[in-house]
């Protein structure tokens, strides 16, 4: 996209209220007290309360872009595998994912520097602004010392 007008037109063509559009609630970031260099799976224009200096949207295809610095990753839950593998390879940031019976989950559990199971009644923010739960418990996995420290100091729960 070349300019803001092009982005606005493209953003209006994208449905941000699909089954993949569950945005992390603001209180999570207030508790983490950390800034991210990059949100790799944001909606067009980003999410205003996510403290990330840069973001990739569906228009950018975050999986095909370079990831840099401290990354925030709340991927589309319809296909977490490539995002989880990329986060583990990047090794710096926090991923918020659902628990899953899949190989990527077991690998992430063993490779992460910290893991925190979030409260079972966690409400995400939908693309239409409404709040909603997901069917499975959600977790945050931290990679790198700063991310792990943020989880530990967050007060959001026990970190392993």
- Residue 160 within a domain: no
Cα distance between residue 15 and residue 88, in whole Å? 29
Q: How many domains does the chain have?
A: 1
pLDDT digits (tens, 9 = 90+) for 58-98: 999 999 999 999 999 999 989 999 999 999 999 999 999 99
Q: For position 9, what pLDDT does the model report?
A: 45
Q: Tokens 């420290």 label which residue?
A: 149
pLDDT digits (tens, 9 = 90+) for 119-154: 988 999 988 888 878 778 999 999 999 999 999 999
Cα distance between residue 149 and residue 17, in whole Å? 33
- Residue 159 within a domain: no
- Residue 31 within a domain: yes
Domain around 98: 4-153
Angle, to 10 degrees, between the axis of helix 103-111 and the axis of helix 81-90? 20
Q: Are 50 and 57 in contact (CB under 8 A)?
A: no
- Look up the CATH number of the domain holding residue 38: 3.40.50
Q: Which of 6, 11, 70, 12 is nearest to 40 (CA)?
A: 70
- Residue 158 within a domain: no
pLDDT digits (tens, 9 = 90+) for 2-36: 455 454 544 444 445 555 678 999 999 999 999 99
- Residue 28 within a domain: yes
- Residue 97 within a domain: yes
Quote the pTM value.
0.87
- Residue 145 within a domain: yes
């Amino acid at each position: 996209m070349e300019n803001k007008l092009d982005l606005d037109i493209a953003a209006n063509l994208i449905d941000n209220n699909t089954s993949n559009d569950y945005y992390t609630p603001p209180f999570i970031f207030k508790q983490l007290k950390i800034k991210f260099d990059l949100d790799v799976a944001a909606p067009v224009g980003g999410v205003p309360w996510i403290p990330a200096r840069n973001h990739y949207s569906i228009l950018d295809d975050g999986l095909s872009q370079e990831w840099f610095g401290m990354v925030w990753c709340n991927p589309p839950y319809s296909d977490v595998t490539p995002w989880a593998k990329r986060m583990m390879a990047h090794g710096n940031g926090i991923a918020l994912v659902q628990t899953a019976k899949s190989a990527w989950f077991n690998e992430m559990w063993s490779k992460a520097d910290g893991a925190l199971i979030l409260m079972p009644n966690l409400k995400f923010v939908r693309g239409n602004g409404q709040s909603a739960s997901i069917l499975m418990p959600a977790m945050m996995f931290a990679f790198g010392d700063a991310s792990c420290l943020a989880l530990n100091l967050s007060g959001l729960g026990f970190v392993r």
